Amino acid sequence: MRTVQSLISMYKEGNYYLKRMLVLVSLLTALISCGGNGSGGTVPDVNQAPLFTSTSSFSTLDNSFKTGYQAVATDKEDTAIIYSITGGADDVDFLIEPESGAVSFVIAPDFEHPHDENIDNIYEVEISATDSNYASSRLNLKITVSGNRVLLVIPIVVHVLYQEDTEHESNITEEKILSQIVVLNKDFRMKNTDLDNVAAEFKSIVTDMEIEFEMAKVDPNGEATNGITRTLDLTHESADENNIYFGNSGGHDAWPTNEYLNIWIYDGSDRLGNIGLGGRGQFPGGDPLTDGVVIPYQAFGTINPVARNQNLHLGRTATHEIGHWLDLRHVEMETNFMDTYVPDQQMLMFSEGQKATVHSIFSDGGGREELYENLTK
């Protein structure tokens, strides 16, 4: 592969110098015809090569094709600039968009298993900027790949739908809501203290999802917020479960789902006080008006009131349903967060394959690409 690339590079080098020689011959001819021997002729201006203004070093996360690096050069003659990859120890690992200069990986890098030439997670590539007159300049770029970092911090808005009775427990406290955020960040970052209980056959594939959550700090109008809305629930006796998503039906409208993760909290108990449905999460690509997660208050967070009698007291319902929101399906994998119908204490891990699935939805064409773009501007 590198031999072929070397031949291509040699061809490009030869073609480049041939063009430069033709330019010099043209200049010499112009000098002679214009009396450029000192007898009063005017020496024509020499075309100047583009000047790179973008940095020569850059850092990016692993497991993503996008590097985030944009090559930028300026041209004194204001002609069009074409970018290309012309060399470097790791040139075969990269692609570049000729007109925009955006650099991406051919294969997404893996911090734990680097495939750069020096196997040190520092990828070296030479970029060329060529103007319309074939004048060219080059930049030696080093892209450092980092691991164990956060791919994305997702802001959450919790819509609390409470019952009219002021003594009813459904109007949960902010403390209870924050206890759920703690659980999410432990579970998704592989920091939960019960990891030792993962089934032996799955220990080798347990992974850090590199995603974190926080309560929204700014609402859609740009105003400061604690990320909590509270609404008198007028949908409790309704047969239409979708009413919970709409203010004009007695629920609460979603905040823009390309900027927030919406979570609706409601009273999910039946007349005997038991939860029938633990929750539901919408997969990417669905109706943006209903995009988010719905969870009974009795299965949300770790502070009372919680459905301890149904083993829904450790906040794992939210971990599971947000997994669906991140495009994860149910699995028959013991101790996995996406296993079905198991108590909270048996939901302990995400796998490397699940991480790849989740990260893919934030890439080009992924189901939550727009969310990723809005949160990383």
List active site positions. 321
Helix 316-325 / helix 174-188 crossing angle, nearest 10 deg:
60
- For the chain, how big is the Rg over CA atoms in Å? 29
Both tokens of 152, joined, read: 């994305």
Both tokens of 180, joined, read: 């759920």
Contacts (Cβ under 8 Å, ≥6 apart) of 193:
186
Whether 147 contacts 112, CB under 8 Å: yes
Q: Angle at the Cα of 267 (from 265 to 273), degrees rounded to 5?
A: 145
Looking at residue 335, its amino acid is T
Residue 128 backbone phi and psi in degrees, to 5: -115, 140
- Rounded Cα–Cα distance for residues 160 and 101 (Å): 46
3-class secondary-structure state, position 222: coil
